[in-house]
Chain A
């Protein structure tokens, strides 16, 4: 890695990627910036508004509430999925025919279209004919995710755990498989306990992939739209309206271009900032 050749023509290799991504990223982003500082009454007439939309959005209670819900949701699913994923990866077989079976079955939820995930959990949780809803009600809980905010949150979080824990498992497992056998032999000779092996050999080796897992889960859960939208539609009331759901409501539903654009930019900046923080932390860790 260290002795790369300086090669000015390398830009030619990168050009197709840059053109394709720039077409998709820069033009739309400029459109958003353009809308965010103007007011329109249709007919392609625009008026300069300065930073009014940004002030409005930052002050609006609605946006703050969505942001709070988003942060709570992301926090909860990270707290559940990361430890659970590591625990499952640690107890998986390291070799033999069962490895493939486990990996294929676990990867399955990752490849189901997101709206199907929502529809599937919708059917699964219906209080009268869904397996989960029926069972919970049979056990004496008053469970209806279309009525109770608590039930809705419970279902959305359970769905996300079902959907994405496997990604953490796969990453953690990849980190574990890269540990050379001699490490374990040495630990055995020293008479190390199972816990000591986990604490001093396995967890440190998983640090890098775990950082990547946290980064990916953070980014993707922060952008979540389709699954909760299909499952609860953001309800009951607004209780499961996360940032993306709120944004689509404003942009495509009410067609309020200015506020939607300002909201988009703030949203994107928050993700970028937090991801950049994670990224630099990972890189610094790697260099040590």
Chain B
């Protein structure tokens, strides 16, 4: 039985790759081929769908908008979560446990519940249809997540590190930036990975909070799918391109993913 153990993950990965392969397959086909026949690989290989996306501003600005709010969200989530996670891991203060649980409840909030009030709130503060609105809205579930992960990593760092530094005469900000942050760099990487991930994949809030200027790529895709009929090739190409940022990010944190889950109590 042991000799065939590798078959389980192999079959699973094969299953995972099938729909992705089918998407790529479609993206290199012409519309005629897609609708006219059933082929396992493109008979007339074409880059036309990708060329359309890279030359039409409606399409490529969708990618730029998505990446803007995702990166802005990752930056603010991790930045505000750092001191908070430090306080939760090192200090005892009034209401700390309740506060921690309250933060986590926001990770449980269904975006569908918040869609309409968010629309009104961000319209009221004149941020509707900007990437800032989406980035701030995604902070609702990403900040608690970042605090949770970072707190786990920080609790793994021995307290003696802080105490020695203070004895050596470091001020708090200098200690935090020069000694503490380098010590939990892996944790920051893992937290950034998860905040990036959840902001990148979310669509309901991103779509509700944007109209024209800040439209995310996912929303451009749904519009195309419904308005211009059966442009499956174009849709497949756009979908394939959305896989790339995720793949790049996974590649960079591949050695930390498993560790991050264990330490960070995700």
Contact = CB atoms under 8 A, between A and B. Distances in A.
Contacts of B222: 115, 230
A166 B106 contact: no
Interface in B231-253: 232, 235-236, 239, 242-243, 245-247, 249-251
A277 interface: no
B99 A106 contact: no
B177 interface: no
A272 interface: yes
Contacts of A110: 197, 201, 246
Given A114-B201, A130-B22, A194 B2 contact: yes
Interface in A6-35: 6-8, 10-11, 13-14, 16-18, 20-21, 23-25, 27-29, 31-32
Contacts of A31: 117, 120-121
Contacts of A189: none
A116 B221 contact: yes
A129 B34 contact: yes
Interface in B173-226: 197, 200-204, 208, 217-218, 221-222, 225
A73 to B, nearest CB: 14
Contacts, number: 270
Nearest to A32: B117
B167 interface: no
Contacts of B38: 128-129, 134
Interface of B: 1-2, 5-6, 8-9, 12-13, 15-20, 22-23, 26, 34-35, 38, 40, 76, 80-81, 83-84, 86-88, 90-94, 96, 99, 101, 103-118, 120-121, 136-137, 139-140, 143-144, 147, 155, 159, 197, 200-204, 208, 217-218, 221-222, 225, 232, 235-236, 239, 242-243, 245-247, 249-251, 254-255, 257-262, 265-266
Interface of A: 1, 3-8, 10-11, 13-14, 16-18, 20-21, 23-25, 27-29, 31-32, 87-88, 91-93, 100, 102-116, 119-121, 123-124, 128-132, 134, 162, 165-166, 169-171, 173-175, 177-178, 194, 209, 212, 216, 219, 222-223, 225-226, 230, 243-245, 247-248, 251-252, 257, 260, 264, 267-268, 271-272, 275, 279
